[in-house]
Amino acid sequence: MALIEAQHLHLAYDRREIVRDLSLALPEGRITIIVGANGSGKSTLLRGMSRLLTPKSGGVLLDGRDLHSLRGKELARRLGLLPQSPLAPDGVTVRELVSRGRFPHQGLIPQWTEQDERAVAEALAATRTDALQERLLEELSGGQRQRVWIAMALAQQTEVLLLDEPTTFLDVTHQLEVLDVVRDLNRERGTTVGIVLHDLNLAARYADHLVAVRAGEIHSQGTPAEVITAQMAHEVFALDAHIAPDPVTGSPMVLPRRRDRTPSPHHHEEDPVSTTTDTAALVPALEHSSTLAFELTVAARRPLGPSLVRFTFTSADLEHFGTNSHPLDLRVKLIIPGPQASADHFAPVRPEGHLDPATHAQWYRDWLQIDPADRGWMRTYTVREHRAAGHPGNLSAQPEIDIDVVLHLDPVEQPGQGVAARWARDAQVGDTVSLLGPNRHLVGPDYGGIEFRPGTARTVLLVGDETAVPAVGSILEALPASISGHALLEVPEAGDAQQLLSRSGVQVTWLPREGRPHGELLDAAVRRLMSENNAQAFRDAAADGPADDGRAATHEELEDVDIDETILWETTTGHGAFYAWLAGEAGAIKSLRRHLVSELGLDRKQVSFMGYWRQGRAEH
Ligand SMILES: Cc1cc2nc3c(=O)[nH]c(=O)nc-3n(C[C@H](O)[C@H](O)[C@H](O)COP(=O)(O)OP(=O)(O)OC[C@H]3O[C@@H](n4cnc5c(N)ncnc54)[C@H](O)[C@@H]3O)c2cc1C
């Protein structure tokens, strides 16, 4: 039975019909998410279902009664709506705004009752805004403000709550935070929720019932697994996409390969990928290279401690950068310019570039042949944060990325050694540098730049030295509250410890080296953690996974990896309830590998080992 139901709804602005003969029932006590391309009519539908828009014909029933027959206050006691850009008067405090949610419950002579007080306190607590209650709304960040608006809707205590794009312009952490609050509300109070979202992957994570809208009509509806298909992505979003399980939640995840070259007839946006070539033999890099070279400008530099500096890079080109989801431990290459650069060696893979498909596969080998003083040096880094234009943390008009660089400065400078650290020491705002990273239009499941793949794990162990702190910081920001475990981070000095944000239950331990040998503290901390009864617990958690070849309980003989000749790089997608991710200096990581796998008998299918650098060896 549906509490709220649209029947043969026709909605129009002036004479332009946006929603056509649409019938939709939101299942009671469930979260329904409506998705669709820009201009598909999904927000108009929500406006129609909340009485903000009067239908041309058809109607909406709330608990069997015509929405339009209900008086204003009665409707507001039963149905809450959070519009796309709610406006608050200046100078209103958080508490005042949330208290307004009680207005529909008050009589002709407003009286503040104990019940009102309790409803406001509960709404503040549920949205974790109680500590902000005396603050002015305009002082808050976008994510905090959105939680306050939701608190107001909660204080209204309605059976139905409709939200129009509640996560627009929030960064990923805050998007998840807002949707978690809504999900808790739904699970605890049984509120029937309807949300319009533009992000398909978020919709798949949070929806019980998913509705795809195209050109004002329902294209498909059902569970996320039923609705999210490559065909739907093509027909509704004009997207050529691969569907894979989300590594964090297991819900279906859309991995766009590229925009379809033949846009669906219902899709009004222009295809951003040009298909024209100026030379017959050459093809556009945007369509043919999964890696692009981005010319970045240093927008800001900020020390994070004595050993790490955060660079914020910006560029209009970054519009084409990314993996269409959280970067997690996404690796990219910085190209440190050589002193005698003669040309742009990456011109063919710039977003506006054209490449020769016949020779493209060997571009890296060709690049290595060039004198380093001319071509420069390639160094691997992690994208600490990626902020689109319009993101509240991004004040510029262009997308931004942050990269945190370790300043390991050798007193004796050698050519070609420590070039990235020295560049980071000297670089100033306005300087430019090239970065090789994923082409957002082409990344697919085979894109290997992200290694954190915990699968179904609910307990994680993250181990890293200072070079892995950026990756761990980014991973922690993405982990949901349902994941717990430990992060052990060894850094050169106590001042290098940072505040890392996470909604997860992962406990972060900083291990300042203060002159001790690299990896010593990390080794001791991992051994201590595992000996506190945890190794058995982790093995048990590992054994919870799908049946495997029985290696979990046996102490495996490891083949030796010569870390001076090859890279130590063994990564896996987690099976079972426990997953460990270890990255840093290759010698230290190798010794931890021996301890965890050979001595403690952890299954290698639960653990990813990554030698990020090798003491005494430059990267290339
Ligand atoms: C997937 C991946 C992600 C990474 N992410 C980051 C990141 O986000 N931030 C970051 O700072 N680093 C990161 N690194 C490590 C970084 O690539 C190396 O530290 C790199 O060697 C730095 O280049 P360089 O030119 O400064 O030194 P190189 O010229 O490569 O090395 C010169 C000398 O310095 C030593 N050396 C290199 N790095 C260090 C160090 N950190 N401390 C002490 N000595 C060192 C080498 O052993 C060598 O003897 C990552 C590496 C990988 C593989």
Question: Looking at ligand 1, which residue's alpha carbon is closest to its atom 17?
Answer: 380
Looking at the chain, the whole-number percentage of residues with pLDDT higher than 70 is: 89
Show the domains of the chain with their CATH numbers: 27-52+68-256 (3.40.50.300), 284-438 (2.40.30.10), 459-545+559-613 (3.40.50.80)
Separation between Cα atoms, residue 236 and residue 220, nearest integer Å: 10
Alpha-carbon distance 6 to 306, whole Å? 60
Q: What is the pTM (predicted TM-score) of this model?
A: 0.61
Q: How far is the CA of 596 from the centre of ligand 1 (A)?
A: 24
Q: Which helix (H) or strand (E) holds 579?
A: strand 578-585
Inter-residue contact 315 to 292 (CB < 8 Å): no
Ligand 1 atom 53, closest CA: 612
Q: Is the pLDDT of residue 369 over 90?
A: no
For ligand 1, the distance from its centroid to the CA atom of residue 425, given in whole angstroms, is: 14
For residue 381, report the distance from its CA to the centre of ligand 1, in Å: 8
Pairwise CA distance, residues 158 & 24, whole Å: 20
Which residues have CB under 8 Å from 225's CB, separation 6+?
251, 252
Kindly give the distance from the C-alpha atom of residue 607 to the centroid of ligand 1, in angstroms, as a whole number: 22
**How many C-beta atoms surround the C-beta of residue 458 within 10 A?**
17
Nearest residue CA, atom 1 of ligand 1? 331
pLDDT in the model for residue 515: 96
pLDDT class for 192, splitting at 50, 70, 90? Answer: very high
For residue 538, is pLDDT > 90? no
- The mean pLDDT value for 236-254 works out to 82
Tell which atom from ligand 1 comes closest to the C-alpha of 384.
8
Cα of 585 vs centre of ligand 1, distance in Å, is 9
Query: Could you identify the atom of ligand 1 that is nearest to the CA of residue 416?
Result: 29
* Lowest pLDDT segment from 41-50, 344-353, 385-394, 458-467: 385-394
What pLDDT was estimated at residue 555? 62
Cβ contact 438:291 at 8 Å: yes
Mutate to test the pocket of ligand 1, among 406, 417, 500, 585 (most ligand atoms within 8 A of CB): 406
Ligand 1 pocket, CB under 6 A: 331, 379-382, 404-406, 408, 417-421, 467, 470, 612-619
Backbone angles phi, psi at 448, to 5 degrees: -95, 15
Is residue 18 a contact partner of residue 12, using CB atoms and an 8 Å limit? yes
Cα atoms found within 13 Å of the Cα of residue 61, Cβ hemisphere only: 12
Q: What span, in angstroms and rounded, lies between the C-alpha atoms of 505 and 484?
A: 4
DSSP assignment of 338-371: PTT--S-TTGGGSTT-EE-TTTGGGHHHHHHHS-
The secondary structure of 454-523, three-state, reads: CCCCCEEEEEECCCCHHHHHHHHHHCCCCCEEEEEEEECCHHHCCCCCCCCEEEEEEEECCCCCCCHHHH
At 240, the pLDDT band (50, 70, 90 cuts) reads confident
pLDDT score of 71 more than 60 = yes
Token pair for 472? 């761990």
Q: Which of 69, 240, 50, 227 is nearest to 156 (CA)?
A: 50
Q: What is the pLDDT of residue 269?
A: 31
Atom of ligand 1 nearest to the CA of 331: 1
Which of 380, 410, 498 should be mutated for ligand 1, with most atoms under 8 A from CB?
380
pLDDT in tens, 266-318: 433 322 222 223 334 688 888 888 899 999 999 999 999 999 999 999 999 99
Structure confidence at residue 77 (pLDDT): 87
Cα 613 to middle of ligand 1, angstroms: 5
Specify the range with the lowest mean pLDDT, choosing from 57-61, 92-96, 303-307, 543-547: 543-547
* Residue 548: pLDDT over 90: no
Q: Whose CA is nearest to atom 6 of ligand 1?
A: 381
Euclidean distance between CA atoms 485 and 470, whole angstroms: 18
Residue 319 Cα to ligand 1 middle (Å): 27
Q: State the first-to-last Cα distance of the chain, in angstroms, to the nearest integer.
A: 64
Using CB atoms within 10 Å of the CB of residue 242, give its burial: 0 to 12 exposed, 13 to 18 middle, 19+ buried.
middle
What's the pLDDT tens digit per position in 122-164? 889 888 899 999 999 888 887 788 889 889 988 988 999 999 8
Residue type, 137: L
Do 300 and 384 contact (CB within 8 A), yes or no?
A: no
Task: Give the DSSP letter string of 261-311.
Answer: SS--TT--SPPSS----SSTT-EEHHHH-SEEEEEEEEEEEEESSSSEEEE
Atom 45 of ligand 1, residue of closest alpha carbon: 408
Give me ligand 1 centre to Cα 573, in Å: 25
Q: For position 540, what pLDDT does the model report?
A: 61
Ligand 1: residue of 409, 613, 620 to mutate (most ligand atoms within 8 A of CB) is 613
Which atom in ligand 1 lies closest to the alpha carbon of residue 619? 30
Ligand 1 pocket test target in 335, 581, 612, 614 with most atoms within 8 Å of CB: 612
Atom of ligand 1 nearest to the CA of 614: 47
| Distance from residue 563's CA to the centre of ligand 1 (Å) | 15
DSSP state of 325: S
User: Which residue among 408, 564, 589, 614 has the greatest number of ligand 1 atoms within 8 angstroms of its CB, and so is best to mutate?
Assistant: 408
Binned at pLDDT 50, 70 and 90, residue 85 comes out as: low
> What is the distance in A from the centroid of ligand 1 to the CA of 612?
7
Ligand 1 atom nearest 421 alpha carbon: 26
Residue nearest to atom 3 of ligand 1 (CA): 381
- Ligand 1 centroid to 467 CA: how many Å? 7
Lookup result for tokens 């300042």: 512
> CA separation (Å) from 151 to 64, 72, 146, 181, 298?
27, 20, 9, 9, 39
Closest residue by CA, ligand 1 atom 24: 418
Residue 355's alpha-carbon distances to 164, 246, 277, 363, 439, in angstroms, are 43, 33, 10, 10, 14
Examine the pLDDT at 116 and tell me if it is beyond 80.
Answer: yes
Mean pLDDT of 504-514: 96
**Distance from Cα 131 to the centre of ligand 1, integer Å:** 41
pLDDT in tens, 421-476: 999 999 999 999 999 999 988 876 556 789 998 988 999 999 999 999 999 999 99
Ligand 1: centre distance to CA 535 (Å): 31
Residue 580 has pLDDT above 80, yes or no: yes
Would you say 493 and 513 are in contact if contact means Cβ atoms under 8 Å apart?
A: yes
- Helix (H) or strand (E) run with residue 26 in it: strand 16-27
